[in-house]
């Protein structure tokens, strides 16, 4: 599998409000080839971009994402919390984000981010939307149930298993979900786990790497890609 080396985290990293179209546009302007964002189901089952199960941290809304319709969700403000300059920025649906990625040539890692109890349903719905979209993308999730449901719904859309520390049973979990790659925390990565993954030839991408030196060290050790909040640290020719 071919990865962009530098993947902007939550759309535009720390340079824009997270999980917004403003982030995707900035990532593209910086020369990023890849972005990552989080997709969760709104109350009506429409996948929308947001990281937390609750609206409070990143939007003008209150309460659970799973209790709000997508029509109400996209009327919230996802920019004002970050900076008044972004006030009025709408939180997008997954379809809107995928359309923009295709239009501006961004490879997208859609992280399936289920609300508690909605693992399989979220995996299934996100995979169907991804399969219907144009452009290059990869699904990932911390939830094996979500990944397996995504595989059942849209086998052709590639998947990666997402973990914090690489667990003992990572090979089994990769095999069960038909994942082609592993995404793990850079901070929790051990030399033993890295060697074991590298020996299998399965690509490994690490989050969240906000210093160039750390990224270069990981690349030298065989890591394929890094997720970063600071895509501005690289020139477009280096991404
Ligand atoms: O997909 C990599 C990374 O985004 C996982 O952590 O919490 O930022 O979604 P989080
Ligand atoms: Mg994420």
Pocket test for ligand 1, best of 51, 115, 160, 184 (most atoms within 8 A of CB): 51
What is the predicted pLDDT for the residue at 211? Answer: 98
What is the predicted pLDDT for the residue at 31? Answer: 97
- Ligand 1, atom 5, lies closest to the CA of 207
CATH of the domain at 74: 3.20.20.190
* pLDDT per residue as tens digits for the range 99-116: 999 999 999 999 999 999
What distance in Å separates the CA atoms of residue 178 and residue 102, rounded to the nearest whole number?
25
Between the CA of 111 and the centroid of ligand 2 the distance, in Å, is 5
What is the predicted pLDDT for the residue at 2? Answer: 82
pLDDT class of 70 with cuts at 50, 70, 90: very high
What distance in Å separates the CA atoms of residue 145 and residue 70, rounded to the nearest whole number?
24
Q: Would you say the CB of residue 140 lies under 6 angstroms from ligand 1?
A: yes
* pLDDT per residue as tens digits for the range 112-158: 999 999 999 999 999 999 999 999 999 999 999 999 999 999 999 99
**Annotated catalytic, 81?**
no
In a domain, 222, yes or no: yes
Q: What percent of the chain has pLDDT over 70?
A: 100
* pLDDT per residue as tens digits for the range 10-41: 999 999 999 999 999 999 999 999 999 999 99
In a domain, 239, yes or no: no
Q: Which atom of ligand 1 is nearest the CA belonging to 140?
A: 1
What is the predicted pLDDT for the residue at 194? Answer: 96
- Specify whether the backbone of 83 is left (phi greater than 0), alpha (psi in -120 to 50) or beta: beta
Count of alpha carbons within 13 Å of 204, Cβ hemisphere only? Answer: 29
In a domain, 11, yes or no: yes
Q: Which atom of ligand 1 is nearest the CA belonging to 227?
A: 2
What is the predicted pLDDT for the residue at 56? Answer: 98
In a domain, 203, yes or no: yes
Out of 9, 129, 183, 211, the active site residue is: 9
Task: Check pLDDT > 80 for residue 1.
Answer: no
* pLDDT per residue as tens digits for the range 167-203: 999 999 999 999 999 999 999 999 999 999 999 999 9
What is the predicted pLDDT for the residue at 131? Answer: 98
In a domain, 196, yes or no: yes
Q: Would you say the CB of residue 163 lies under 6 angstroms from ligand 1?
A: no
Q: What percent of the chain has pLDDT over 90?
A: 99
Ligand nearest to C-alpha 208 = 1
In a domain, 1, yes or no: no
Provide the number of structural domains found in the chain: 1
pLDDT class of 224 with cuts at 50, 70, 90: very high
Q: Would you say the CB of residue 207 lies under 6 angstroms from ligand 1?
A: yes
pTM of the model: 0.98
Burial readout 199-236 (b: 16 or more C-beta within 10 A, e: otherwise): eeebbbbbbbbbeeeebeebeeeebbbbbbbbbbbbee
Q: Would you say the CB of residue 228 lies under 6 angstroms from ligand 1?
A: no
**Annotated catalytic, 183?**
no
Give the domain range for residue 16. Answer: 6-234
Averaged pLDDT, 68-93: 98
In a domain, 215, yes or no: yes
Is the preceding omega at residue 91 within 30 degrees of 0, hence cis?
no
What is the predicted pLDDT for the residue at 208? Answer: 98
């Amino acid at each position: 599998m071919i990865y962009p080396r530098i993947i902007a985290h939550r759309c535009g990293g720390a340079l824009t409000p997270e999980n917004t179209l403003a982030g995707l546009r900035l990532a593209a302007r910086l020369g990023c080839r890849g972005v990552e964002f989080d997709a969760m189901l709104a109350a009506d089952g429409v996948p929308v971009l947001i990281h937390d199960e609750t609206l409070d941290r990143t939007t003008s809304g209150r309460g659970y994402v799973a209790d709000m319709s997508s029509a109400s969700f996209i009327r919230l403000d996802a920019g004002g919390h970050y900076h008044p300059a972004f006030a009025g920025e709408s939180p997008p649906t997954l379809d809107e984000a995928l359309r923009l990625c295709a239009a501006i040539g961004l490879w997208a890692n859609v992280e399936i981010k289920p609300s508690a109890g909605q693992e399989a349903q979220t995996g299934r719905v996100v995979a169907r939307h991804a399969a219907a979209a144009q452009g290059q993308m990869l699904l990932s999730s911390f939830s094996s149930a979500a990944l397996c449901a995504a595989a059942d719904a849209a086998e052709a859309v590639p998947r990666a298993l997402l973990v914090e520390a690489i667990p003992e049973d990572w090979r089994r979990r990769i095999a069960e979900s038909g994942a082609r790659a592993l995404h793990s925390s850079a901070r929790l990565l051990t030399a033993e786990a890295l060697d074991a993954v590298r020996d299998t030839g399965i690509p490994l991408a690490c989050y969240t790497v906000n210093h160039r030196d750390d990224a270069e060290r990981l690349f030298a050790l065989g890591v394929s890609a890094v997720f970063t909040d600071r895509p501005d640290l690289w020139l477009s020719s280096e991404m």
